[in-house]
Every structure is written in C-alpha cells, then in structure tokens.
Structure 1
Amino acid sequence: MTLRTIALDHLNGAEAAALLVGGRLEDLLIDSDQPRPGAIYRAIADRPVKGQGGMFLRTPDGSAFLRQIKGLAPDQPLLVQVTGYAELGKALPVTSTILFKSRYAIVTPDAPGLNISRSIKDEDLRDSLLEIAHAEMGQSAMGLILRSSCDTAEASDIAEDIRAMCELAEAVLADATGSEPETLTEGDGPHTLAWRDWVAPADVMTTPGSFATSGVLDQIGALSDPQVPLPGGGSYYIEPTRALVAVDVNTGGDASLAAGLKANIAVARDLPRQLRLRGLGGQITLDLAPMPKKDRRTFESVLRATFRQDATETALVGWTPLGHFELQRKRDRLPLTDLFK
C-alpha cells in the first residue's frame, strides 16, 4: 500500500476526485455546471474595451473577455480556451493560446518545437523521449512538450498520448472558422484531471462511496469552518469576502518571543493547501501574527517555497504599509461554498 490514495467518487451527483497523502486531504476536484477551465470555443469577437487592451467575445456560454487583442476585429472568429472561473457578474476569462494537455504530452499549436521537462535529468532517457517525439510528430508544425510524468512511463503509452493529443488538436484547428460561436471541447472533468495530473504512485479507489470509506467526507466537512488549527495551540481564519480573502493569524496561548514567527511559518506551510481545498483565489490579504521586521524575509522564503510546489499560479505581491502581506491567486476553481449551495 502506498502513502498516497486517489478516491474517485461523486458529491451531490457531481463528479469528484480527492487526493490523500498519509490520510490527509491534499487536493479536491469537484465538477460544476459552469464551463470548465480548458474548454475550447470558437468565439466571435464582439466589442473592444477601451483602456483595458481587451475585447469581449461571444461564446455559447455567454460573454468572455480576452486580453492582448492586437489585430482582432469585431465579428472575427477565433479559437479561445477557458483559463479559469468567472467572478460573479463578470465575463469568462479566456486566452487565445491553446494547449492540448494530457498525462504525458502537451501539444502547443502556436509554439513549434519539441521540448522535454527539465525535471527529467537522465540524458539517455531524454534522447529516447526525443526519438518518440520525432516519430510521432513527423513534419507537424505544432509544438510538443513531454511532461515530467514521462520519467517512469512506457514508451507505447507516451506515443499513444502524443497521437491522441495531435488528433484532437488537428480536429479543433480544422473547425476554427465559422460565423457562430461553438463549443469545440468541454474541458476535462475531475476524474480525467486526477488521471492527468496526479501522476505519482497511488492506490486508486473507484467504488461508489469511496469518499466515505477513505475519510474524505469528514475532511470536506471540516473545510466549512473558517478556523484552521495550528501546532502549538495557535490558529488562523480564512474568510472570503466579495472583495478579497482575509487570513487572520493568532498565536493562541503561546506567549513566547518567537510565537508570532512560529505561527506565521506554520501558516505559510499550510496556506496553499487550504486555498486549494477551499477553491479560493483572487486577492488574498494576510493579517499575520506580530513578529519583528527582521523575520519577514524568513517568512517570505517559506511562503515562496511552499507556493512553488502548488499548481495554481500565485503572485506574492508583498507587504502593505499596515504590515499585511498580499497575494494574487488565479481563480482556477470554484469556491467550495458555492459548490454546496
């Protein structure tokens, strides 16, 4: 039995996947009725937004907003891919840089060239992977990235993955023109995403009710509490508002001189996981426990190292005049509270 467990189940009728490490919930994916990140549309340019360098587009799922629109004219069709979830009352965020991503391969129509993940260090393996890439891509003008998961994969599985992504890319690109908006791909659901991205060895549970038997349901229930306990008796609160996500750190009964730094470092190590599980993004403001200014660099180093391991793009903005620390996190998930309304 491995340390990692992947549970594939359903919550309230929606497809869901959970990743546990040592019994602790590390990641959670739940489907919704909103457009999935990764979905590809043939969209129609609608109207530019002056001063923002963007344009609203028409899609089958409503209005979308695209930045960097040089050369794009109203009523022009174009391919776009959903990059995240829209805030309430706002347009879908999309990009014109399309990626076709699977477990081992990413096909990049707009970026030619064959590339291998830098985390694969073995030169013999890199040479073997390049041979597979050249054999499958042939004279294609599209680009290819072989992911780090190729490190332990069978050559036949990698080749099959490349072929599948190339075929999908060619089919989508062939349908790029037209006068009406159309959904060309739906994006991957939680079970497919789990197969695609949770590639480390794990025990996989697929029987109905696996969330209950693995303890996932109990841990999801705990996420409804804004308070998160910390070692040593401290805690922190994660409270989303319309404008931002507020994080308040408390040292509890620890009155030692290093109490503030210890609590803040504990939060830095746990915060990415909590934001991931709760589906929170956007502007995040940390009201940290009191600590000397000389310790700020230590806190930042721990926070940066932890977020570097997180898949969601997060910018560490820095300190405010009031001593708060600010983050900006991509909204690539829906808030857990919205999914259970």
Structure 2
Amino acid sequence: MKKGRLVILDQIQGRDCAALIDNGRLTDLLIDPEGDAPRPGAIYRAKSLRPMKGQNGVMLDLGGGHTGYLRHAKGISAGETMLVQVSTHAEGNKASPVSPKLLFKSRYCIVTPDAKGLNIARKIRDEEERDRLLEIAHEALYGADPSLGLIIRSVSEGIEADAIFDDITAMRTAAEAVVAEHAGAPDLLFEAEPAAQIAWREWVDPDPDEVMQEQGGLELLGFQDAIEDLLSPAAKLTGGAWMAIEPTSALVAVDVNTGNDTSFAAGLKANLAAAKDLPRQLRLRGLGGQIVVDFAPMPRKDQRQVEQVLRAGFKADGIETALVGWTGLGHFELQRKRERLPLQEVLSS
C-alpha cells in the first residue's frame, strides 16, 4: 500500500463505518451503532424532570423514552423546556450527559448559538488570509440572528470562498431552524452525524482520490483482521513487547509487558512504545473514563521521559484527556472523555 492518508467507507457486521489509514496503519475507526440511543452531537428539546439533590444537576426528558443529565443546573425548576446537546455516550443504563451549549460543526466552521463573536482558528496566522476569511464570514452571516457566534476552522485556510460561504450558510440555516424550535414537547431536533459524514468532515483533504467506497474495502486491503485484533486485550508493541488493555466496570486497566526481552533497558523501551501507541489504541477501542497504566519496571528517573511521550501523544489525539500523573505505586492515571461507545459493545450488540 502506498504511503499517505486513505479513508475507507465500508460496513462491519452490516453497519456503516469509516476507517482512517495513515501510511498503511489503522489510526481511527468510526462505526454507526444500532438503535436510537442519544449520540454525541445530537440536539434535543428537553424538559426538566427533577433536580438531583447533592449532585448539582437535573434529570431531563429527551423524548422517545430517553433521559439526559445536565450538570451545574442551578435555578432550573421542574417542567422547564430547554435545548441541549448530547456531550458523551451514556454509561450503561444511565442518563445521557448533555450540555446547554450548542455547537453546529461542519468542515469549515462551527456555529455557536448564544455565544456571540467571530473567531478565526489560531493556526491560521497569515493576516491577509485571516482578513479574507473574516470577509467571507461577515457576508455569510449578514442578516443572521445576532446571538449566533462563529468559529472559522483551520482547515479553511486557502479554500475557495464559495465553498466556505456555502458551508457557513448551511450551518447558519441549521442553527437558526433548531433555535426556533425551543417551545414544545421533548423531541430530537438535530441528529448526530453518521460515521461517513464525520469522516468526510474531519479526515478528507480536498483530493478525493484518497477515499475508497467500494464494498469490502477493509477486507480487500487487509484491515478486517486489524479491527478484529482490537477485540482482544493484547496490543502488540515493537521489539516483542505488548500491553493488555482491559476495561472493567470502574476503570480501564493497561498492563505493559516487555515480552521475552530481559535486558536492563527492556522496561523503558516497552514503556515508551506503549506511551506512544496508547492514544491510538484507546481511540480505536472506543475507551474512556478513568484509565490506569501499570508500566513495566523502570528506573524512577525515566518516568519523566515516558510522561513526555504520553503528553505529546494525547495532545495530538483530539479527544479530551486529562493526564493526572503518577501514583504512589508507580502507576499512571488519566481521565478521558467518553466520546465513543466501546468497540466491543458496538460489535457485540
């Protein structure tokens, strides 16, 4: 397989999916789950049910038999109607975490109702380009609800004006339509994006040749086995080392092993390899929440080097992750947003 980036749109167990391949390696995987459970990004008109005493939150009726949980919900009384967006997947049979801050995200922009302001991504530093994008944005937002805010994403740099204008206009129209539906019974107003749409939005560069949509593409290119390997706890590392990644009801436990290498430097080598690959493994397996890593034995002075690799990897990962640090027993703890359903759960349902 040639080097570069490839997006494969296919099916797994009859469900639409999208796989991202970087230089011949599976780096991301999205699969549409079954059922109508609330998914991150979906926007609901909700009705407050009851406050959760001692938790500073409130339970919400989302309609269709679904419930949501809104944190930091002071001053909300039973029966109030509001618009909320699902922020993460629910754990088990719990209510879906939601937020009152709505985001309408597209390829080139993010429209933010009730968050005024027009902002350009900081990664775009060229002043002439920033001025050009501001001009396009002002034109696309002319006559819009003044409460709408807008963020121009970094991928917009160098893109033709018409494409950006049309993208902003579409998101503006969607946002205005949803905000206008504030009153009424609990209901789903804006559906979460399917896997293929997210892939087109986040992964695909302007060159369409890097997208494969033929049925069976994953198996044809040999990535079906790589996905099945993710259902096993064992994740192979370089030099014969490996790590076991096992979710439990309380946390995700990661155990790093050196394999057959018994040299003095084996622990550090295995730990650096694990730290580098852990963000990819968690992303592909859809794992989040509290994560505890039991690294292989190594000198305490090497912990800083391993932590630096961890921080670099999670910074580039894109999923919100807080690195808590080392415990007294030498484990490393982190907290990761539950942005996806566990792969094991998706493929076994």
TM class, shorter-chain normalised? over 0.9
Give the corresponding residue for 1:127. Answer: 131
> Contact conserved, 1:2 with 1:203, CA < 8 A, in 2?
no
User: Post-superposition shift, 1:305?
Assistant: 0.6
Query: 2:283 & 2:322 partners in 1: Cα distance?
Result: 15
Query: 1:260 & 1:158 partners in 2: Cα distance?
Result: 50
Q: Does 1:48 align with 2:54?
A: no
Match for 2:78 among 44, 60, 74? 74
Give the corresponding residue for 2:227. Answer: 220
Match for 1:98 among 97, 102, 105? 102
Query: 1:319 & 1:50 partners in 2: Cα distance?
Result: 33
Residue 192 of structure 1: SS of its match in structure 2? helix
Match for 1:195 among 197, 200, 209? 200
5 Å matches for 1:14-33?
14-32=15-33, 33=35
Query: 2:172 & 2:3 partners in 1: Cα distance?
Result: 34
The gaps in structure 1 that reach 5 residues or longer are: none
The gaps in structure 2 that reach 5 residues or longer are: none
Give the corresponding residue for 1:167. Answer: 173
Give the corresponding residue for 1:242. Answer: 249
User: Post-superposition shift, 1:224?
Assistant: 1.7
Residue 293 of structure 2: SS of its match in structure 1? strand
Q: CA RMSD in A?
A: 1.3
Match for 1:265 among 246, 265, 272? 272
> Contact conserved, 2:237 with 2:243, CA < 8 A, in 1?
yes
Match for 2:153 among 143, 147, 157? 147
TM-score (norm 2): 0.94
Query: 2:190 & 2:291 partners in 1: Cα distance?
Result: 32
User: Post-superposition shift, 1:187?
Assistant: 0.9
Query: 2:169 & 2:323 partners in 1: Cα distance?
Result: 38
Count of paired positions = 340
Give the corresponding residue for 2:163. Answer: 157
Query: 1:213 & 1:151 partners in 2: Cα distance?
Result: 35
* Identical positions, percent: 55
> Contact conserved, 1:46 with 1:57, CA < 8 A, in 2?
yes
| 1:107-157: CA deviation from partner (whole Å, max 9, x where unpaired) | 011211111111112211111001101111125321100111101422111
> Contact conserved, 1:243 with 1:283, CA < 8 A, in 2?
yes
Query: 2:14 & 2:237 partners in 1: Cα distance?
Result: 33
- Following TM superposition, where does structure 1 have runs of at least 4 consecutive aligned residues deviating by more than 6 angstroms? none
Residue 238 of structure 1: SS of its match in structure 2? strand
TM-score (norm 1): 0.96
Give the corresponding residue for 2:214. Answer: 207
Query: 2:162 & 2:290 partners in 1: Cα distance?
Result: 44
Residue 225 of structure 1: SS of its match in structure 2? coil
Query: 1:37 & 1:312 partners in 2: Cα distance?
Result: 13
> Contact conserved, 1:45 with 1:75, CA < 8 A, in 2?
yes
Q: Does 1:275 align with 2:282?
A: yes
> Contact conserved, 1:149 with 1:199, CA < 8 A, in 2?
no
| 1:44-65: CA deviation from partner (whole Å, max 9, x where unpaired) | 0111111111110001241110
User: Post-superposition shift, 1:70?
Assistant: 2.6
Paired letter, 1:249: V
